[in-house]
Structure 1
Amino acid sequence: MITVLAGGTGSIKLVRGLAAHTSDLNVVCNVGDNLWMYDMYICPDIDTTVYGLADLLDRDKGWGIRKDSFNFLRQMEAFGEETWFRIGDRDAATHLMRTNMLKNGKNLSDITRWMCGRFAINVNVMPATDSNVETIISTKKGDMHIQEYWVKHRGREPVTGIRYEGAERARPNPEVSRAIQDSKVVVIAPGNPLTSIGPMLKMQSIRKDLSRARSKTIAVSPIVGNKAVSGPAAQYMEAAGIEVSALGVAKMYAHACSSIVVDTKDKALVNKLSNIDMKVHAARIVMRNRQAENALAAFVLKQAR
């Protein structure tokens, strides 16, 4: 059994690669960017994972359903509503079903399991918690939900702080704890370390589970040189006072994993990383196609075992 912690558009590529090697796979998804919009509960990271595994994901955008239409959104715009969060028509059906099931007493874990069944996904996708957790970005113009900051405002305002509301008191997800404990290998995917992986590491239960499983946990850096492979990871790391490098990522994860995969361009960091009691493996971590996804996943599993 393999368990991977995933979040954001940077993680799904490795998740797909791992799924190509084993069906005995658990994917623990970030919930810090979940939000309510138009009275629908939207779970971007869960949906990206499910769509990606179901081969429905719009790979050009990295989110949403491929070739989706946007009639719903156009009509909302005609009604004078804000439409900065791009919800496709088929995507909206996912959010409506989830919202109705929540209102009928189902929890997010149950709903996600049901969704995987409807999409014929054999992988076990689960939320990090069924509790409400929100990643909040602080700027000089005030606090914003992570989606509002990055999508609506396009990340233009300098970041002055990041916090995870509800993470410390989030109820443990028993499935997540069992998955981490029972897995032969635990992988931290190359998502944004602060806004995709960070909310999960802030949850007490997951933090404790990973500290116990440290010897079998391996991370993949989302940073090459001093730049993020994709997204605003570098911007957030700078705001948090963390060195924008694979070394900075390794220090963040030092309590949770004993190995890290860095890009071949960062081989020079090997000696520095050994100083924090972490094994370092170098590979090509930029995944531009399925072949690269499968190759990196195979490399990660080989090094972890």
Structure 2
Amino acid sequence: MKITVLAGGVGGARFLLGARHWLRDASVDPAADLTAIVNTADDLWLAGLRITPDLDTITYALAGVNDTSRGWGRAGDSEVVNGELAAWGVAWPWFTLGDLDIAASVARTAWLREGVPLAEVVARLGARWELGVRLLPATGDEAETIVHLAQPTDDGRGELHFQEWWVRYRAALPATSFEVRGAEVAHPSDGVLEAIRDADVVLLAPSNPVVSIGPILAIPGIREALRSTAAPVVGVSPIIAGSVVRGMADACLTAIGVATTADAVARLHGSRAAGGLLDGWLVDTADADVVDGLVADGIPARAVPLWMTDPSTTAQLVDAAVALAS
């Protein structure tokens, strides 16, 4: 079985840990293959280094070296270099990088400047660990999320890079829209379209639908590949009982006029039979009352426990997604 997952951030990392756990179970095909197409629109240049937050978060989580208390970075990391950079004014005091993070970014930047594609860079960085998942950046081109604000900042800016809006302002500045700047001329990384085309199942992780899954879909060719693949496409709701599981996805959904509910996010993606993406959608048992309405709208749905408390519990969620697909 070949499973391809679209993912970003902490939610994507937790889901992939569960998918890997499920695939390693003795009852699953030992030749099974797991590929993740990861959001790259959070990426940015900082102090001359190319930073890739979602790719790093997922890599560290699969490697078992992530800082679970903070939700980002490496466990036990120090911040000596970041403090020095901030003292010289070449780093943001609100965007902290650990020393091990910076080392990874130095290696990544060196390879990128040598002309190595980002997909190969990701493979090199992950090769020191046994990840159990093939990670593919959605694109190797620079296509970054820009947040358009309802009101200018105190220094007169009407737009911010997503990282500043998310980390510095905690999504508290009302947004009017999100733009993946550069997406229109970007290309999917090598292997991305094939991973969708050749999959037996495609899963949308419970990542932020606007700024994690949305930017992946904005890369030309990816949405079309999802619509044309023979594989069923099943998504997992990132909303439980009207609340986000993690982060500030509600601020993102509000900005684009979508309610913070499990069924509203499903309708945002749409039924593949009606020109959308979904062949199935999982909601939490707390949202079981929306299942019938989604089915009536052409989106097969099922209510199962969605809280990803540990890889074993998340594996049951992955099993339910695959079962719905089949």
Q: Same fold by TM-score, threshold 0.5 exceeded?
A: yes
Whether contact under 8 Å (2:202, 2:231) holds in the other structure is no
| C-alpha displacement of 1:214 | 7.0
Partner of 2:311: 290
| C-alpha displacement of 1:299 | 2.1
Give the secondary-structure state (helix, strand or coil) at the position aligned to 2:73. Answer: coil
| 2:238 equivalent among 199, 213, 222 | 222
Partner of 1:201: 217
| C-alpha displacement of 1:298 | 2.2
Residue type matched to 2:209 in 1? P
Rounded Cα–Cα distance in structure 1 between residues aligned with 2:9 and 2:221: 21
Rounded Cα–Cα distance in structure 2 between residues aligned with 1:266 and 1:224: 7
Give the secondary-structure state (helix, strand or coil) at the position aligned to 2:9. Answer: coil
Rounded Cα–Cα distance in structure 2 between residues aligned with 1:21 and 1:265: 24
Rounded Cα–Cα distance in structure 2 between residues aligned with 1:161 and 1:264: 31
Partner of 1:53: 62
Give the secondary-structure state (helix, strand or coil) at the position aligned to 1:118. Answer: coil
Rounded Cα–Cα distance in structure 1 between residues aligned with 2:293 and 2:284: 15
| C-alpha displacement of 1:153 | 1.9
Residue type matched to 1:4 in 2? V
Moved >6 Å (runs of 4+): none
Q: State TM-score, norm by structure 1.
A: 0.96
Partner of 1:150: 166
Rounded Cα–Cα distance in structure 1 between residues aligned with 2:130 and 2:56: 14
| 1:126 equivalent among 129, 136, 155 | 136
Give the share of equivalent positions with the same residue, in percent: 34
Partner of 1:234: 250
Partner of 2:298: 277
Rounded Cα–Cα distance in structure 2 between residues aligned with 1:64 and 1:214: 37
Give the secondary-structure state (helix, strand or coil) at the position aligned to 1:195. Answer: helix
Give the secondary-structure state (helix, strand or coil) at the position aligned to 2:185. Answer: coil
Rounded Cα–Cα distance in structure 1 between residues aligned with 2:63 and 2:195: 22
Rounded Cα–Cα distance in structure 2 between residues aligned with 1:295 and 1:120: 23
Residue type matched to 2:293 in 1? K
Q: Which moved more, 1:265-274 or 1:213-222?
A: 213-222
Residue type matched to 1:281 in 2? R
The 1:214–1:280 alpha-carbon spacing in structure 2 relative to 1, beyond 3 Å, is farther
| Gap regions ≥5 residues in structure 2 | 24-31, 153-157, 271-275
- The answer on 1:247 being equivalent to 2:263 is yes
| C-alpha displacement of 1:84 | 1.5
Whether contact under 8 Å (1:167, 1:200) holds in the other structure is no
Residue type matched to 2:44 in 1? L
Whether contact under 8 Å (1:215, 1:257) holds in the other structure is no
The residue correspondences of 1:73-92 to structure 2 (distance < 5 A) are: 73-81=82-90, 82-92=92-102
Partner of 1:268: 289
| C-alpha displacement of 1:212 | 1.1
Rounded Cα–Cα distance in structure 2 between residues aligned with 1:118 and 1:288: 27
Rounded Cα–Cα distance in structure 2 between residues aligned with 1:262 and 1:298: 14
Rounded Cα–Cα distance in structure 2 between residues aligned with 1:48 and 1:180: 22
The 1:91–1:134 alpha-carbon spacing in structure 2 relative to 1, beyond 3 Å, is same
Instruction: Describe the superposition over 1:101-143 as per-residue Cα deviations: whole angstroms up to 9, x where unpaired.
Output: 0011101011011122122323110101111111111111110
Rounded Cα–Cα distance in structure 2 between residues aligned with 1:67 and 1:294: 28
Q: Which moved more, 1:168-177 or 1:136-145?
A: 168-177
| C-alpha displacement of 1:241 | 0.5
The 1:186–1:217 alpha-carbon spacing in structure 2 relative to 1, beyond 3 Å, is same
Whether contact under 8 Å (1:215, 1:258) holds in the other structure is no
- How many residues are matched? 305
- The answer on 1:18 being equivalent to 2:27 is no
Give the secondary-structure state (helix, strand or coil) at the position aligned to 1:163. Answer: strand
Rounded Cα–Cα distance in structure 2 between residues aligned with 1:39 and 1:273: 47
